[in-house]
Amino acid sequence: MNRAQHSFASPARPDRFVCLVSAARDVAELIDAVRDYLADWPAEKVARLQTVDAGWAPFDENQRPTAFYKAADLRALCETVHGQCSALRSAGLSLAPELLELDLFLFLACAKLSQFEAATCS
């Protein structure tokens, strides 16, 4: 039986924010859900992420989430984190659980953003 190598430190917390992303009715609610998720990260978790992020993760030097307000900001954040994760994987490095969680959460948020964008285009 195969088991996952990594798990969320607190399964209920990410699940709650995934529900908020899923329930978002528009881009503003989606951005609020992502901001709330990032703001909920404990300082220790941010510190662990910052040991590998080289400045590209969405937290500043004081371990506060980087501010963003528009769909384009969210898209850029998603692409940056995913691109860096892909580069680390390509280099043969395993990703820290915090980075895996962040990449997955932002992937879900960007998928929801794509749904909103598709709805406005049709």
Higher-pLDDT residue of 4, 38:
38
Total domains present in the chain: 1
Q: Which two tokens stand for residue 34?
A: 């992502």
Residue 112 lies in a domain: yes
Separation between Cα atoms, residue 78 and residue 106, nearest integer Å: 5
Q: What are the tens digits of pLDDT across the range 32-89?
A: 999 999 999 999 999 988 888 878 889 998 999 999 999 999 999 999 999 999 999 9
Model confidence at 3: pLDDT above 60: no
* 21 contacts 38 by C-beta, under 8 angstroms: no
Q: Among 2-6, 90-94, 116-120, where is mean pLDDT lowest?
A: 2-6
Predicted local confidence at residue 10, as pLDDT: 46
Residue 7 lies in a domain: no
Residue 26 lies in a domain: yes
Residue 2 lies in a domain: no
Residue 90 lies in a domain: yes
Domain that holds residue 114: 12-121
Residue 16 lies in a domain: yes
Say which residues have a Cβ less than 8 Å from residue 66's Cβ, sequence separation at least 6.
38, 58, 59, 60, 77
Residue 6 lies in a domain: no
Higher-pLDDT residue of 9, 116:
116
Residue 4 lies in a domain: no
